[in-house]
A and B are shown apart, each in its own frame.
Chain A
Amino acid sequence: QVQLVQSGAEVKKPGVSVKVSCKASGYTFANYGITWVRQAPGQGLEWLGWISVKNGITDFAQKFQGRLSMTTDTSTGTAYMELRNLRSDDTAVYYCARLGSGVVSGCDYWGQGTLLTVSS
């Protein structure tokens, strides 16, 4: 069955970077994109961006430009999200999700979430 398993919780100080992993299994990794979404404590969902596993094309929300990277390793079926120059308002649960294969599709499988706490 399709599974996305994310790396564990992180505690970081302001100004440093974090890299969250998302290991996929149960499907052909290269055939689907990976979306990253975050949720601050008690808040709604926020889209960070998307990466095509097939060709590495990315699309990030403008507010994260310059601080955000997304990569994939097809040899291990793992996607990565790196956020740099962390601020306290980056404290959130970060989710990876598989983007469905259709032209018009949603995120059909999600990781369990990774809690990032940014605090001095």
Chain B
Amino acid sequence: DIQMTQSPSSLSASVGDSVTITCRASQRVTRYLNWYQQKAGKAPKLLIYAAYRLQSGVPSRFSGSVSGTEFTLTITRLQPDDVATYYCQQSYSSPQTFGQGTNLEIK
């Protein structure tokens, strides 16, 4: 199975800051990498698909990038509504696997 190592596991930032979450794949996944946002008690929401493509309706403050097997999710101009857990997911090979999640808090 492809392991997705996500870091950090938690972070705290202030409104207006920029934050970056990293996900490293144990094997090649090309661009088959998605990012989800999950708020407490809710279903996940797709933010980014195919490594860097912004899902319709998602603010442009969210962006994705890739370098080899390292993927990053960047959130700029942090808002209180961004408080959530963020997950990466590889859909390159079965079983599809998720990172362990990053809890984002606002200071």
Contact = CB atoms under 8 A, between A and B. Distances in A.
B34 A45 contact: no
Contact of B46 (A46, A47, A106): A106
Name the prevailing secondary structure of the B interface residues: loop
Contact of B89 (A61, A106, A108, A110): A106
Interface of A: 35, 37, 44-47, 49-50, 59, 61-63, 95, 97, 100, 102, 104-108, 110-113
23 contacts: A37-B44, A44-B99, A45-B36, A45-B87, A47-B96, A47-B97, A49-B95, A59-B94, A61-B94, A61-B95, A62-B95, A100-B46, A105-B50, A106-B34, A106-B48, A106-B89, A106-B91, A107-B46, A108-B46, A108-B49, A111-B43, A112-B43, A113-B43
Interface of B: 31-32, 34, 36, 38, 43-46, 48-50, 55, 87, 89, 91, 94-101
